[in-house]
A and B are shown apart, each in its own frame.
Chain A
Amino acid sequence: MVKINLKLLKKRAQDEIKRAGDLKLLNEVFKKYLGKKGELTLVLRSLEKLPKAKRVKVGKEANEIKNFLRVQFDQKAAAIKEKAKKEAEEKEWIDITQPGKKPATGHLHPLTQVRRKTEEVFQGLGFTVTEGPEVENEWYNFDALNIPKDHPARDLWDTFYLKGGLLLRTHTTPVDVRYMEKNNPPLRIITIGRCFRHEATDASHESNFYQLDGLMVGKDISVANFKAIIQEFFQRFFGKPVEIRMRPSFFPFTEPSFEVDMTCLVCKGKGCSACQKTGWMEMMGAGMMHPNVFKNSGLSPKNWQGWAFGMGFDRLAMMKYKINDIRLLYSGDLRFLKQF
Chain B
Amino acid sequence: MVFSYNWLKDYVKNLPKPEKLAELLNLYAFEVEEVKRASGDYVLDIDVLPNRAPDCFSHIGIAREVAAITGATFRVPTPEIKEDKDIKTKDLVSVEVKNKQACPRYTAKAVTNVKVGSSPKWLKDRLKVCGLRPINNVVDVANYVMLETGQPLHAFDGEKIEEKKIIVRFAKKNEKIVTLDEEKYDLDENILVITDTRSPVAIAGIKGGKLPEIDSKTKTVILESANFNPRIIRRGSQRLKLKTDASWRFEHGIDPNLTETAIDRAVFLVQKLARGKAAKGLVDIYPQKVLPKRVKLDFDYLERLLGIRIPVWRIKDTLKKLGFKLMDFRNRSVTVEVPTFRRDLSIPEDLIEEIGRIYGYEKIKATLPTVSLIPSKENFNIFWEEATKNILKEAGFTEVYNYSFINEKDKRIFSGKELVEVENPLSAEQKYLRPSLIPNLLKDIQKNQRYFSSIRIFELGKIFRKKESRQLTGVMTGEAFYQLKGIIDLLFHKLGISDIWYDEYKPTPEESKLVIWHPQKCAEIKVGQEEVGFLGEISQKIIDSFDIEKKVVVFDIDFEKLQELSLEETIYQPVSRYPAAVRDLAMLVPRGTKVVTVLNKINAAGGKLIRDIDLFDVYEGEELPEGKKNLAFHIIYQAEDRTLKSEEIDQMHQKIIKTLEKDPAWQIRR
Say yes or no for B176: interface residue by CB 8 A criterion: no
Min distance, Cβ A115 to any Cβ of chain B, angstroms: 9
A335 to B444, CA, bound (A): 12
Min distance, Cβ B162 to any Cβ of chain A, angstroms: 33
CB-CB contacts below 8 Å: B392-451 with A: 392-405, 420-426, 430, 433, 440-441, 443-444, 447-448, 451
Chain A residues contacting B444 (CB-CB under 8 Å) are 332, 334
* A248 touching B423 in the complex, CB below 8 Å, given contacts A112-B389, A194-B462: no
A133 to B420, CA, bound (A): 15
Do A160 and B377 touch (CB < 8 A)?
no
Kindly report which residue of chain B lies nearest to residue A199, judged by CB atoms: B426
Kindly report which residue of chain A lies nearest to residue B381, judged by CB atoms: A131
Chain A residues contacting B234 (CB-CB under 8 Å) are 150-152
Do B443 and A332 touch (CB < 8 A)?
yes
Chain A residues contacting B305 (CB-CB under 8 Å) are 222-223, 288, 305
A290 to B350, CA, bound (A): 10
Kindly report which residue of chain A lies nearest to residue B231, judged by CB atoms: A150
Kindly report which residue of chain A lies nearest to residue B301, judged by CB atoms: A305
Min distance, Cβ A151 to any Cβ of chain B, angstroms: 8
Do B349 and A255 touch (CB < 8 A)?
yes
Chain B residues contacting A249 (CB-CB under 8 Å) are 49
A97 to B151, CA, bound (A): 77
Q: Total interface residues on A, using CB and 8 Å?
A: 81
Interface centre among B306, B347, B422, B440 (most CB of A within 10 A): B422
Q: Give the contacting residue for B398; candidates A107, A194, A225, A229; CB below 8 A.
A: A107
Say yes or no for A208: interface residue by CB 8 A criterion: yes
Do B426 and A222 touch (CB < 8 A)?
no
Say yes or no for A109: interface residue by CB 8 A criterion: yes
Chain A residues contacting B421 (CB-CB under 8 Å) are 162-163
Do A198 and B424 touch (CB < 8 A)?
yes
Min distance, Cβ A22 to any Cβ of chain B, angstroms: 38
Kindly specify which of B358-366, B516-524, B553-561, B617-625 makes contact with the partner chain. B358-366
Do B371 and A334 touch (CB < 8 A)?
no
Min distance, Cβ A67 to any Cβ of chain B, angstroms: 41
Chain B residues contacting A246 (CB-CB under 8 Å) are 361-362, 364
A288 to B52, CA, bound (A): 18
Say yes or no for B308: interface residue by CB 8 A criterion: yes
Q: Total interface residues on B, using CB and 8 Å?
A: 88
Do B349 and A288 touch (CB < 8 A)?
yes
A200 to B51, CA, bound (A): 25
A252 to B364, CA, bound (A): 23
A128 to B251, CA, bound (A): 40
Do A334 and B306 touch (CB < 8 A)?
no
Q: Give the contacting residue for B31; candidates A127, A133, A151, A247; CB below 8 A.
A: A247
Min distance, Cβ B413 to any Cβ of chain A, angstroms: 18
Mark contacts of A228-249 with chain B using CB atoms, 8 A cut-off: 1 yes-contact digit, 0 otherwise: 1101100000000000111111
Do A247 and B376 touch (CB < 8 A)?
no
Chain B residues contacting A163 (CB-CB under 8 Å) are 420-423
Chain A residues contacting B389 (CB-CB under 8 Å) are 108, 112
CB-CB contacts below 8 Å: A168-212 with B: 168, 186, 188, 194, 196, 198-200, 207-208
Do A257 and B369 touch (CB < 8 A)?
no
Kindly report which residue of chain A lies nearest to residue B29, judged by CB atoms: A248
Do A229 and B369 touch (CB < 8 A)?
yes
Chain A residues contacting B404 (CB-CB under 8 Å) are 134, 168, 194, 196, 208
Min distance, Cβ A2 to any Cβ of chain B, angstroms: 55
Do A223 and B364 touch (CB < 8 A)?
yes
Min distance, Cβ B155 to any Cβ of chain A, angstroms: 26
A121 to B511, CA, bound (A): 47
Interface centre among A109, A127, A133, A186 (most CB of B within 10 A): A109
Do B422 and A107 touch (CB < 8 A)?
no
A130 to B464, CA, bound (A): 20
Q: Give the contacting residue for A225; candidates B230, B350, B367; CB below 8 A.
A: B367
Chain A residues contacting B394 (CB-CB under 8 Å) are 105-106
Q: Give the contacting residue for A250; candidates B52, B235, B402, B423; CB below 8 A.
A: B52
A258 to B83, CA, bound (A): 48
Q: Give the contacting residue for B347; candidates A168, A229, A291; CB below 8 A.
A: A291
Chain A residues contacting B396 (CB-CB under 8 Å) are 104-106
Chain A residues contacting B130 (CB-CB under 8 Å) are none
Kindly specify which of A4-12, A37-45, A70-78, A213-221 makes contact with the partner chain. A213-221
Chain A residues contacting B433 (CB-CB under 8 Å) are 135, 162, 168
CB-CB contacts below 8 Å: A118-140 with B: 119, 122-123, 126-131, 133-135
Q: Give the contacting residue for A126; candidates B350, B376, B420; CB below 8 A.
A: B376
Do A129 and B403 touch (CB < 8 A)?
no
Say yes or no for A111: interface residue by CB 8 A criterion: yes
A95 to B30, CA, bound (A): 65
Kindly report which residue of chain B lies nearest to residue A161, judged by CB atoms: B423
CB-CB contacts below 8 Å: B611-639 with A: none
* A108 touching B393 in the complex, CB below 8 Å, given contacts A160-B422, A256-B353: yes
Min distance, Cβ B415 to any Cβ of chain A, angstroms: 17
Interface centre among B371, B373, B447 (most CB of A within 10 A): B371
Do A188 and B376 touch (CB < 8 A)?
yes
Q: Give the contacting residue for B375; candidates A126, A160, A227; CB below 8 A.
A: A126
Kindly specify which of B84-92, B212-220, B263-271, B452-460 makes contact with the partner chain. B452-460
Say yes or no for A53: interface residue by CB 8 A criterion: no
Min distance, Cβ A55 to any Cβ of chain B, angstroms: 52
A330 to B440, CA, bound (A): 10
Do A208 and B52 touch (CB < 8 A)?
no
A128 to B377, CA, bound (A): 5
Min distance, Cβ A325 to any Cβ of chain B, angstroms: 14
Say yes or no for A259: interface residue by CB 8 A criterion: yes
Do A198 and B426 touch (CB < 8 A)?
yes
A335 to B400, CA, bound (A): 12
Do B379 and A222 touch (CB < 8 A)?
no
Do A134 and B424 touch (CB < 8 A)?
no
Do A255 and B231 touch (CB < 8 A)?
no
Say yes or no for A153: interface residue by CB 8 A criterion: yes
Kindly report which residue of chain A lies nearest to residue B48, judged by CB atoms: A250
Do B30 and A248 touch (CB < 8 A)?
yes
Interface centre among B50, B451, B452 (most CB of A within 10 A): B50
Chain B residues contacting A128 (CB-CB under 8 Å) are 376-377, 379
Q: Give the contacting residue for B366; candidates A133, A199, A227; CB below 8 A.
A: A227
A335 to B35, CA, bound (A): 42
A232 to B367, CA, bound (A): 11
Say yes or no for A94: interface residue by CB 8 A criterion: no
Do B375 and A106 touch (CB < 8 A)?
no
Say yes or no for B575: interface residue by CB 8 A criterion: no
Residues of B within 8 A of A (CB): 26-31, 49-53, 230-231, 234-235, 251-252, 304-308, 347, 349-350, 352-353, 356-357, 361-362, 364-369, 371-377, 379, 381-382, 386, 389-390, 392-405, 420-426, 430, 433, 440-441, 443-444, 447-448, 451-452, 455-457, 461-462, 464, 468
22 contacts between A and B (CB under 8 A): A104-B396, A106-B398, A107-B393, A116-B386, A126-B374, A134-B462, A134-B468, A150-B234, A152-B251, A168-B404, A186-B374, A200-B426, A218-B371, A222-B369, A224-B367, A229-B368, A232-B368, A248-B29, A255-B349, A256-B306, A256-B353, A335-B448
Q: A129-B382, A208-B404, A329-B401 are in contact. List 8 more A-B contacts (CB 8 A).
A: A162-B423, A168-B404, A222-B306, A232-B368, A250-B52, A330-B403, A332-B444, A333-B448
Closest 8 CB pairs of A and B: A224-B307, A222-B307, A256-B353, A332-B444, A228-B366, A250-B49, A161-B423, A246-B361
Residues of A within 8 A of B (CB): 104-109, 111-112, 116, 119, 122-123, 126-131, 133-135, 150-153, 155-156, 160-164, 168, 186, 188, 194, 196, 198-200, 207-208, 216, 218, 220-225, 227-229, 231-232, 244-250, 252, 255-259, 288, 290-291, 305, 329-335, 337-338
